A = this chain, B = another copy of it.
Amino acid sequence: MHAFINNLINSDFSYMLFIAIILLSTKFLGLVTMKFRMPQVVGALIAGFILGPAVLNLVRDTDLISSLAEIGVIVLMFCAGLETDLNEMKKTGAASFVIALIGVLLPLAGGFGVAYFANSDPDLILHDVFIGIILTATSVSITVETLKELGKLNSHAGNAILGAAIIDDVLGIIGLTIVMSLADSSVSILIVLLKIIAFFIFAVIACYLFRKLYSKWTSRTEKDLRRYSITAFAFCLLLSFCAEFFFGVADITGAYIAGLAIAKTSKTEYVTKKFDTLSYLLLSPIFFASIGLKVNFSGMTSTIWIFAIVLTLVAIITKILGCGLGAKLFRFTTKESLQIGIGMISRGEVALIVASKGEKMGLMPPQYFGPVVLMVIVTTIITPVLLKIVFKDRRAGGGSAAFGKLA
């Protein structure tokens, strides 16, 4: 039986089996979590967790699955951009900046503190700072998905979260770069900062030009609309690629900005629908499941478990306090401040990417990888659950989420 399953999951064709299992289990558990009044994303994450090495060890996180997950998160962020109201966002711009800033500084300090107490070697202070850096980066995709399911993506708090998450991303990159440049003389802080500024200038110009041409082109005809979706997708992928390749900025930041560029044109609704289909039918189930697939608890000692639990708690509390405080300073109500703080809790693939980069550079001991993954999983699962609670109001949920309208 065991040998049979091994054959099954190691054949050249197992990717079809993997995708089929992911599609069925994420949808099924999504419907189950929905029955318990939790967002379907939670079910999808749990599905990945159960299928992966932590429980059943049935589905492998192969290169194909990772790549599809990466394309999936790009499409997810692109859709978030498409649905963003830029005018509303401008209103929350300054607030978003302060929310992001305090929401980065507090987790940085918190992560440093936890690592400092766990680590007795004073020579390794940079390692402790690195753990702090890992805690800074919010992964907004889960929140976006949940807010879409709840129909709250374009609320006042929703826009503040989106804006803050973008800025948070940039602050995280700056933080990571500073630590890496202290550890490695080949990375210069100044150059990295200049690159980030250059990216935003480049993105604004590219988006301005593209939007002008695209609006003109798409307003010409109502027939043969497929070319509009294809061109939009290509633009999104190109901007994501440029962000990573030329400027060292996260691809999802590029994808989100590309979405902003195409928001509110005459064909935006049509294009958004098509990307929703692409997302829910293949890419986003794989993305959410792949996060769960990364969890592996084998080889974690009890000390490491305690470290993991404390780190996770600190990650949650510092983000709520930091972002909530930032929101409060800008006269958001207490309820909204809590919504914003909770919306920023989840750490996803960014934290994992940062951690694996740090491990490669010798900035993070390998035994800390387990705690980081646990922190990512817990914050990711807890975010939609808490969001649902704090966004609760009279109206039943709506919106067009990648995991389906609520029945």
Contact assessment for B223 and A16 in the assembled complex, using a CB-CB cutoff below 8 Å: no
Residue of B nearest to A30 (CB): B227
- Collect the chain B residues with CB atoms within 8 Å of residue A16's CB: 71, 74, 237-238, 240-241, 244, 251
Contact assessment for B63 and A241 in the assembled complex, using a CB-CB cutoff below 8 Å: no
Which of A158-166, A274-282, A371-379 faces chain B?
A: A274-282
Is A206 positioned at the interface, with any CB of B under 8 Å from its CB? no
- Collect the chain B residues with CB atoms within 8 Å of residue A329's CB: none
Minimal beta-carbon separation of A32 from chain B (angstroms): 13
Q: Pick the contact of A278 from B27, B227, B235, B281 — CB < 8 Å?
A: B281
Is A230 positioned at the interface, with any CB of B under 8 Å from its CB? yes
Contact assessment for B234 and A20 in the assembled complex, using a CB-CB cutoff below 8 Å: yes
- Collect the chain B residues with CB atoms within 8 Å of residue A64's CB: 63-64, 67
Is A218 positioned at the interface, with any CB of B under 8 Å from its CB? no
A27 to B285, CA, bound (A): 27
Q: Pick the contact of A404 from B31, B226, B233, B274 — CB < 8 Å?
A: B226
Contact assessment for A233 and B407 in the assembled complex, using a CB-CB cutoff below 8 Å: no
A278 to B12, CA, bound (A): 23
- Collect the chain B residues with CB atoms within 8 Å of residue A245's CB: 8, 11, 13, 17
- Collect the chain B residues with CB atoms within 8 Å of residue A23's CB: 230, 233-234, 237
- Collect the chain B residues with CB atoms within 8 Å of residue A24's CB: 230-231, 234
A14 to B19, CA, bound (A): 23
Residue of B nearest to A407 (CB): B224
Q: Could you write out 28 A-B pairs with CB less than 8 Å apart?
A: A8-B245, A11-B244, A11-B245, A13-B241, A14-B241, A15-B71, A16-B71, A16-B74, A16-B238, A17-B241, A19-B237, A20-B233, A20-B234, A20-B238, A21-B234, A24-B234, A27-B227, A31-B227, A63-B63, A223-B405, A223-B407, A224-B406, A226-B403, A226-B404, A226-B405, A277-B277, A277-B281, A278-B281
Sort A-B residue pairs by CB-CB distance and give the 8 closest, nearest first. A20-B237, A16-B241, A224-B407, A226-B404, A20-B234, A13-B244, A16-B237, A277-B277
